Structure 1
Amino acid sequence: MLSTSIAALCAALLASSHDGPDPIGSWSLSSADFDGARLEAVLGVHGRAEGPLAFVEDAHGDALYFDGRATRVVLATDHATSEQRLPTRHMTIEAWASVNTPAAWGGLLGLLQDNGDAEAGWILGYDGKVFTFGLASKGADDGNGQITYMQGKTPYEIGVLHHVVGTFDGETMKLYVDGELDAESEAQSGDILYPDHAELVLGGYVDRNESFFHNGRLRSVRLFDRAASSGWVRAGFAHGRELRHADPYLWIDPELRWVVQPYLQWATKDGMTIRWETSRPGSSEIRFGRAVEFSGEGDARVGLLPKLKSDASLVLHHELRLEGLEPETAYYYQAVTHDDLGRELASTFLSFQTACVGDTPFAFAVISDTQGNPSVNGRIAQLAWAQRPSFVLHPGDLVDTGSVKSQWVHEFFGSMQPLFERVAFFPVLGNHEQDARLYYEYMSLPDPEYHYTFVYGNAQFFMLDSNRQVGPGTRQYKWLSGELARSRATWKLVIYHHPAYTSDENDYGDTWSGPSTRGDMRVRALVPLFDKHGVDIVWNGHIHSYERTWPLRDDRARQSQDGTVYMITGGGGGSLETAGPIRPFFQNNVRHGHHYCMVAISGKTLEMKAFDLDDRLFDSLVIGK
């Protein structure tokens, strides 16, 4: 083909323009390089495309767009029978690629097996924030192989083409992004360790039991059996610098639809934040009022809301803050988006209530570890909504993998929408969120968003990120100490993910065969603060079961209410865990099973009730002051 000859000539010119290795495989992924589903290689084996083929134009031609669902290019169904030459000890992978959807296991070019402890092969890819380079060698072989997944430090820009290079010289792995060294590791050495059988794939992370599709562009990929020098990498980036500085390509859905339906955040006595996400950029509009005014009859009957808050900016993530509202007041709202074609997307009429003040009674739900189980967390959302909570506390692990967008869309917001469209939720980060950018894209919380406090009625809530340091002298410790000292609330309630006290069988030591710390010792450093300032209850997740302690003070159980009750409410959806065989001194009630809690506060009385998936009460607590 003419296009193949031109591409080969360009590759030869590029290789001869500076010192560096010659490729053993070179693939340009422009429309001219495809004959139907066949990818004509510049060097090496030809490829076979799967899924839809779409190409994105740029100033220098075009590039294949991988849809994240079905598109990939298979270069070899099994490297053991392929004619493609592979690196043995030294290697370089070079790619011009963009990422449109962050993913925990993103792949640009890979040949690997990573199944349990059996790890072999290599991959150039990305995670939820940065580019990655993974490789296994014989020098680091523990009997089953061991891949080092090296993460860069420079975040990629969504939709922007980046120059990404991974090298290995038998001693050191290096990862370059846009011509600069971004990470290196000496964890691997010697010859590359290959699996017996594996696919060689462009645009995916694929092994025997996993297949994750790339969403973004691949413009070109080259494979070498030598380790490129830093000068060669810089020169390679310089030749394509214009690609890096071109405008990003963000795929636009032809249909205007909900990606995430309206949900509520940051409820205060005089305001509410309403958010939603659409498939196409559009304007943001909230129609609201204290009552829906209906006119007309039958099919012509329409509802109107008297007030309007809007933003004409065309965006995918919509956020509007309603302010100047009355406390303890019911409002009705409708979220509306108009796209650039004039089409309208409008929600049904929904409702919320502003926060109460003083000693007015209120109630809230506590639901944690909803991760990866929409059938369970959806059921819990329905049960909790039936009790009409004022808001929801979520002690972390909202999703199973925070960098995977589909989990937020389908396994969290999608299943819990009936609850969150009518009551605000206040979350903290769990370990499964991975501090991913998607968490911050979806949440509207006070800066820095990973710790904050809010007042509701006569209670104050203190929200922490226990993935970060919380010991004495750290930012969060000093912040919490100051906030607790200033608080004049009747009830002081703390929420973070990892438990200071737990009866779990094996998270902090195998209790079936030996000792356990019975909790996360990092966060146990916070306990003296709770004792000093009279914190009433601490809610945690992380352990996928239910537990309530006796009131604790000075690391001892108290028979009176002079102490802090620690509760684990990790039964929101994650795979269930079990208590160990030995009952620790702090344990009052422990239960294996999915569940949620309802907490009601009226003046100086707090009532807590815990319910299972059949909505049966299995534990309760009353605290009076």
Structure 2
Amino acid sequence: MTTNLSRRALFRAAAPAAGATLRPFGRHLAFGADPATQVTVSWQVPGKVTGSYVRVGTSPTTLGAPIAAEARPLESKLSWQQPEEHDFPPHAPATSTQYYLHAKLTGLAPGTTYHYVLGHAGYDPVAADRLGEVASFRTAGTSGAFTFTAAGEQGVGYNAIASNSRVADLAPAFHLALGGLSYAMHEPGDKPASEDFEYDARKWDSFFAQNDPVASGIPWLVTPGHREYEKFHDSNGNGGMRARFAMPDNAWSGSTGIYSWRYHNVGFLSLDAGDVCYRFPAKLDYTAGKQLKWLDAQLGKFRADPAVEFVVVYCNHSVYSTGDRYGAERGAQEKWAPLFDKHGVDLVLTAHNRLYERTDPIKAGKGTKKTGVVNPKTDGTTYVTAGGGGQALDAFYRKAPESYLGHENDSAATMKSYKKGSTTPTVALVTWSRVRYRGYGLVAVDVTPGQLTVRALGEAGDKIDEVVLRRG
């Protein structure tokens, strides 16, 4: 087994503390581009330490030698922030640093359960016989059925914790976190033209601590959202994401949250929707066409790969939605949807609007069929908004009625979207909004050879929607 490294950091006073008094927390895993052999272990420490490492082994009582992790410190000035807890301590320094650590493990064995524990200079859980701190993960096999889950707009709080419980109960192979992660960034009054964001860096600490019981064993593959844009750290607002997460990011050197990978018979692509967002243009066209060119090429590679049956794209902004808060992303409809049609993308998973919605399969902007099994080859792409991960719920535009399993309503709904350079929405009556549900929950996708079964589960675990995608 070989390792590569990455860097990170956490929130605490600048003076270094003794390593013996600090405990790792906020563990979260991610797959590499090859989930059968590559896993990244990420975590935080509440102060500056040296010699951070992970020990890994196939037995919880026989762990290997320490594998060095690389720190990615992230400094935040207090002057940038408006703390959720009303004020900073009176003696707080002018800046705070969060210490994020990452160890990229490669050369792992496919379909194998590994156990791991974290430490640093002055703190060795193995020597202290702290077996309760050992966690585990499982690499992908090479074929076979599997389930993955997806949800966005989680934030921090009791609804978010309940969402984690649903993920844990399902025990998926991995979870897709569809942006709207910590809600450390809030807009005042949801003013699209404003960049006067309210920000509290410490909410990321709460987010990772909250998710640790689940994300320490189930890889979370994240995609950047509207609220992950943090203009303070670099010119395109991606510095925070690069510090906190270690996704494959293999689109090009320096890409952030833009990557592809394959799990068994499904090819996955994560996109940064800020690059095509007309309503909140802070990141609009920041890749100067790189993402669009890469998307076209990577979709072509997937479709030319005989091992890939299905292609799933995930991002934050809803490509097609009748949600009231953010509506649909016209930039994605204009730039991405034609490529989804061209390459026969099967499923697009998004969030942003804090609700659940599924479209009929769509081709060239129009729904193609209302009921029955979907054949993406002929019928088009199914778009799902899964934004019920924990934050306050949104409504459907112009109060369109809900329509879900056992409560069907076949009435048309209204989509709003924003043209480039406009702050006034354009509205259109649409018939492709097949399922609408205002509630918390997540999506579970069951994958078998030749079929994706997409289920939406409500807050009590009840099934509110199911559709079968089958390539004929």
Distance 1:599 1:378 in 2: 21
Residue 370 in structure 1 maps to residue 154 in structure 2: yes
Compared CA separation, residues 318 and 507, structure 1 to 2 (3 A): closer
Shift of residue 259, structure 1, vs aligned partner: 5.7
Which of 5, 16, 22 aligns to 1:257? It is 22
Distance 1:387 1:341 in 2: 33
Aligned to 1:321: 104
Which of 251, 274, 280 aligns to 2:41? It is 274
Calculate percent identity across the aligned residue pairs: 21
1:175-209 Cα deviation digits (max 9, x unpaired): xxxxxxxxxxxxxxxxxxxxxxxxxxxxxxxxxxx
Q: How does 1:84-99 map to 2 (within 5 A)?
A: none
How well do the aligned residues superpose, as a CA RMSD in angstroms? Answer: 2.7
Residue 290 in structure 1 maps to residue 58 in structure 2: yes
- Consecutive unaligned residues of structure 1, counting only runs of 5 or more, are 1-99, 103-214, 217-249, 293-303, 509-518
Distance 1:623 1:615 in 2: 22
Aligned to 1:524: 333
Shift of residue 266, structure 1, vs aligned partner: 2.3
Aligned to 2:217: 422
Aligned to 2:242: 440
Distance 2:70 2:291 in 1: 35
Amino acid at match of 1:258: R
Amino acid at match of 1:390: A
- Contact 1:594–1:612 (CA<8 Å) still a contact in 2? yes
Residue 353 in structure 1 maps to residue 353 in structure 2: no
- Contact 1:309–1:322 (CA<8 Å) still a contact in 2? no
Distance 1:542 1:571 in 2: 9
User: What is the total number of aligned residue pairs between the two structures?
Assistant: 357
Q: How does 1:99-248 map to 2 (within 5 A)?
A: none
Which of 55, 67, 83 aligns to 1:310? It is 67
- Contact 1:544–1:577 (CA<8 Å) still a contact in 2? yes
Amino acid at match of 2:244: Y
Distance 2:467 2:367 in 1: 16
| SS of match in other structure, 1:607 | strand
Amino acid at match of 2:109: E
- Contact 2:69–2:102 (CA<8 Å) still a contact in 1? no
Aligned to 2:171: 388
In terms of Rg, which structure is larger?
A: 1
Amino acid at match of 1:355: A
- Contact 2:26–2:205 (CA<8 Å) still a contact in 1? no
Compared CA separation, residues 576 and 259, structure 1 to 2 (3 A): farther
Compared CA separation, residues 340 and 270, structure 1 to 2 (3 A): closer
Amino acid at match of 2:310: W
- Contact 1:367–1:394 (CA<8 Å) still a contact in 2? yes
Distance 2:360 2:129 in 1: 51
Compared CA separation, residues 312 and 623, structure 1 to 2 (3 A): closer
Compared CA separation, residues 553 and 282, structure 1 to 2 (3 A): same
| SS of match in other structure, 2:324 | coil
| SS of match in other structure, 1:467 | helix
Shift of residue 310, structure 1, vs aligned partner: 2.0
Distance 2:68 2:24 in 1: 19
Amino acid at match of 1:421: S
Residue 494 in structure 1 maps to residue 313 in structure 2: yes
- Larger RCO, structure (CA 8 Å, separation 6 or more): 2
Amino acid at match of 1:494: V
Aligned to 1:168: none
Compared CA separation, residues 492 and 313, structure 1 to 2 (3 A): closer
- Contact 1:336–1:344 (CA<8 Å) still a contact in 2? no
Residue 404 in structure 1 maps to residue 222 in structure 2: no
Amino acid at match of 2:64: K
Which of 493, 503, 521 aligns to 2:322? It is 503
TM-score by length of 2: 0.70
Which of 411, 426, 434 aligns to 1:588? It is 434
Which of 328, 340, 346 aligns to 1:536? It is 346
Distance 2:68 2:269 in 1: 32
Aligned to 1:546: 356
1:553-605 Cα deviation digits (max 9, x unpaired): 12221225221000000010121011133523111101001111111111111
Distance 1:461 1:385 in 2: 22
- Contact 1:283–1:314 (CA<8 Å) still a contact in 2? no
1:282-325 Cα deviation digits (max 9, x unpaired): 32232222223xxxxxxxxxxx2242342287884322222211
Shift of residue 622, structure 1, vs aligned partner: 1.4
Distance 1:384 1:400 in 2: 20
Q: How does 1:328-347 map to 2 (within 5 A)?
A: 328-339=111-122
Shift of residue 330, structure 1, vs aligned partner: 1.4
- Contact 2:115–2:136 (CA<8 Å) still a contact in 1? yes
Distance 1:535 1:604 in 2: 14
- Consecutive unaligned residues of structure 2, counting only runs of 5 or more, are 1-8, 73-98, 186-198, 230-236, 277-283, 401-411, 414-429
Compared CA separation, residues 624 and 101, structure 1 to 2 (3 A): closer
Which of 483, 486, 489 aligns to 2:298? It is 483
Aligned to 2:387: 570
Amino acid at match of 1:555: G
Compared CA separation, residues 379 and 465, structure 1 to 2 (3 A): same
Residue 466 in structure 1 maps to residue 234 in structure 2: no
- Contact 1:282–1:340 (CA<8 Å) still a contact in 2? no
Compared CA separation, residues 333 and 624, structure 1 to 2 (3 A): same
Distance 2:435 2:300 in 1: 31
| SS of match in other structure, 1:331 | strand
Compared CA separation, residues 507 and 322, structure 1 to 2 (3 A): closer
Residue 614 in structure 1 maps to residue 464 in structure 2: no
| SS of match in other structure, 1:405 | coil
Where is the strand percentage greater, Structure 1 or Structure 2? 1
Distance 1:431 1:344 in 2: 43
- Contact 1:252–1:279 (CA<8 Å) still a contact in 2? no
Residue 449 in structure 1 maps to residue 268 in structure 2: no
Compared CA separation, residues 259 and 349, structure 1 to 2 (3 A): closer
Distance 2:439 2:228 in 1: 23
Compared CA separation, residues 530 and 307, structure 1 to 2 (3 A): same
